Structure 1
């Protein structure tokens, strides 16, 4: 996809509008108005509204992958540290690029089949990072359970924070990540 600075800015504005209005209720006219351009000019940057949605989700998912890979590359090989690092990286992604991630979480089903197929590899790559970290934690005995269920539980809990977490509240994202990891680890005996 075209990665021009102008297109990135338009994608960011579209993400904000999709969060506020929802994909289905957002019109091309609303997008153009939010972006400060004429409706026809929008099609200079994007083929249609569907391509805008795909661009929002693609950019957010790529950013999540970059943040997670960098965090894992820079942390120790210890499975508990890697689990905490992934939880922190996930929350960092959600809170620094919130709109793109809310759109990816709640509007994925609105993608047409072609866009979904194109973007699935990014989502799968991100989930594969989690599976590796969870497998290591399971193997080390840090957590118990079925890998699929554990990964869905952890990602679901982390993703849901976009609905209730207040970054200005008493808990930092790191505290929140540490609390979540502590919840899934069995109590010491």
Structure 2
């Protein structure tokens, strides 16, 4: 009987680890059956949210499968390795939660500032906050060029004169900054990511 044909009960841990490292997909299901509840429990306790814990559990096993070549049995057990991945994925989830909370708070503040304008749509305030947040992540030269272009309504020639940079440098910073923004905004857009 091959490793792929055995059930989880028939495979001892070392054989399971060997098959997992070789890329035997049936072993992934067995690994999930054996340690999925451990990963879920750790995520649930840390996050306090069942749905988020389920998402993290899936991410952990996906990361484990994709990164299985990085697991070294002589450095620790498979459940220990999965626990380490879980901690990192929980930290990522908490950081994303914090970022979402900050964006919502900033969008609310933006709406309050613009409350006197009846034409303001909530989506516009959220877009403004999201764009400002992404702009803050750009390297300083790219951020400066785009801020001068978007908010000060300067042409690239005027930006070159103001900064003292060559026109080609200003154009390069603008192009790279726009590409980064487009890439980052596509990553944050669940509709674009699903397409």
The reply to whether TM is greater than 0.5 is no
Structure having the larger proportion of residues in helix: 2
TM-score between both structures, scaled by the size of structure 1: 0.29
Bigger relative CO (Cα 8 Å, ≥ 6 apart): 1
TM-score between both structures, scaled by the size of structure 2: 0.28
